[in-house]
A and B are shown apart, each in its own frame.
Chain A
Amino acid sequence: MKQIKAIIKKEWLNFLGSEHGVFVVYAVLIFAWSFIPLTKVSGTGQVWWLFFSVIISGNFANTVFVSERLNGSMEILLTSGLTRNAVLYGKILFITIMSIFIGLTCCCIAAIWIDLYGQPRMLFFTDMASGAALYCVGTLMNVACSAWLSIRLQSPRIIPVISILLMAVFVALYYFLTYIVYASGWLLYVILGSAAMIFFFFAKMEFNGERVVHPVDM
């Protein structure tokens, strides 16, 4: 646990030391996305949260996993005395916590808009809660996927694109299943949750393999 805390602290300080522009971008994203629940279109309002999770967690994964792989500092981290699992868990936990914090902040601001400008066509708070839950599951799936691909791919820079693509595939799969047979809303949670677990298993395997020091395309 101490080792995981050391990794989380390192990532947190690294995030705090980022350029001011990074914080501005996050603020703008949160503000812009908070209006999404005001435009409930054919039941797709909640799905927008999924793509928000891809953008936020993908961005964090880019700094936490991809850049460390690209600049070669991962091998030093793995030989620092921390166990490989601690490094993986610490990084995944950090991205998850940060992404969920940002997502929930966005939800809270959205709730304010609903409260201020509440109209029948808008989402209700219960929808908001399920949207937030979907956001969390989406974040987990995306973080695990990024952790795995950051080691697996020779060109880890394309991970954000793959993440969006994967999310689109899962959402399309869900809608396809809903279309041909009746599928409960929970099915999307199940699909994303299962994918998260599978990706996490792959990530753990890769982190304990030797591909972690293989050369990458800059």
Chain B
Amino acid sequence: MSEIKIYVEGLSKSLGKKQIIENCSFLIEQGSIFGLVGLNGAGKTTLIRLLLGLLKPDCGKTEVNGFIPWLHAGEFYRKTGVILEHDGFAGNLNIKDNIGMFAAAKGVAWRDVIAYIKEFWSNTFIHDEVLSGRKKVKYLSRGQKVQCGLCRAFMGWPDVYLFDEPTVALDVEAYDHFVRMCIEAKRRGGTMLVSSHQLSTIEELCDIVGILDNKRLHLLTSDSAAPVSGQWEIMADYSDDFRIILERCSGFPAKYADGMWHCNINNPENAIPEIVTQLAAAGCRIRQICPESNGIREKIRRHYETN
């Protein structure tokens, strides 16, 4: 079993008279990426600030990478990559000096920073700016500032990453680069908590998803391991014979729409191989099979409907 890197138990926090988080409990194992979603004002940023020790919990236990965040240990922050709402760079300094300051704070040697930039940021403007540029941060676009923030967060490959809306203002290339960096960090054993409204980001990166709603955190089950019972989509040719096969194997009526079959399958572990074998034997070309409600968007919608 992997080491638990983020442990939260019974966490509650109110700001003023308003209760923001109530009795929130979850844990994240090493090498996992936890997606945090929720409506505006649900308390995602507050939860991240609590995990960073910027806010003090009213009650409950919080442990991140073996540290109690509220104690503000320098070592804790040196082992944590952070993206918050603001980039945090000094506008009058150029990128090199800004990155240099944060490298010194994290205890990363400058030669290691250069090696890191050359290896992982060589296709970005950051590479040129750090090596030779003089451009002040205040003249960068918002997306460029976010990229600089990501460069800072991954610098030194910390153990834990706490990202609040890390993909805001990123262009397509920068977004892809961010995803690659997350995968690299995960490969190196990093544990991540990513809060985002971009559900595609959450879907693409996260192993576990938690939805913060009505002051509480609800964990959404993962689809990645076993196939789930319910509606399935089978992108395949149309024929009445194929319909009969589908209905016989699944035990439910099958409907053909938008170039695919929609069918309820209760026992996918056994039923799917059977369906594939029989359809293929009947001459059906199958292009894709997947659960219909696989998307995180659908799950979140369902969550709000049921709550």
Contacts and interface: CB of A to CB of B under 8 A. Distances in A.
Interface of A: 2-3, 6, 9-10, 13-18, 71-73, 75-84, 86, 208-210, 212-213
Contacts of A9: 101
Contact of A14 (B54, B55, B88, B93): B93
Contacts of B53: 79
Q: Which secondary structure dominates where chain A touches chain B?
A: helix
B92 A83 contact: no
B54 A6 contact: no
Nearest to A213: B54
Contacts of B97: 10, 13
A93 to B, nearest CB: 16
B177 interface: no
Contacts of B89: 73, 76
Contact of B72 (A10, A18, A84): A84
A130 to B, nearest CB: 36
Interface in B26-80: 49, 52-56, 72, 74, 77-78, 80
B86 interface: yes
Given A71-B86, A73-B86, A79 B106 contact: no
A209 B86 CA distance: 20
A81 B54 contact: no
A6 B104 contact: yes
Contacts of B55: 210, 213
Contacts of A6: 101, 104-105
Interface of B: 49, 52-56, 72, 74, 77-78, 80, 82, 84-93, 97, 101-102, 104-107, 136
Contacts of A78: 54, 72, 77
Nearest to B93: A13
A76 B105 CA distance: 11
A177 B45 CA distance: 51
B56 A76 contact: no
B98 to A, nearest CB: 8
B86 to A, nearest CB: 3
Nearest to B69: A79
Contacts of A86: 74
A71 B87 CA distance: 9
Which of B53, B93, B101 is most buried by chain A, counting CB atoms within 10 A of its CB? B101
A98 to B, nearest CB: 15
A18 B91 CA distance: 9
Contacts of A10: 90, 93, 97, 101
Given A14-B90, A72-B85, A79 B52 contact: yes
A81 B107 contact: yes
Which of A71, A209, A212 is most buried by chain B, counting CB atoms within 10 A of its CB? A71
Given A72-B85, A75-B54, A81 B105 contact: yes
B108 to A, nearest CB: 9
Nearest to A19: B92
B93 A3 contact: no
A17 B136 contact: yes
Contact of B92 (A17, A75, A82): A17
A134 B78 CA distance: 41
Contacts of A212: 54
29 contacts: A3-B74, A10-B101, A13-B90, A13-B92, A13-B93, A13-B97, A14-B90, A14-B92, A16-B92, A71-B86, A72-B84, A73-B86, A73-B88, A73-B89, A75-B54, A75-B86, A75-B88, A76-B84, A76-B86, A76-B88, A76-B89, A77-B88, A79-B53, A79-B77, A81-B107, A82-B74, A210-B56, A212-B54, A213-B49
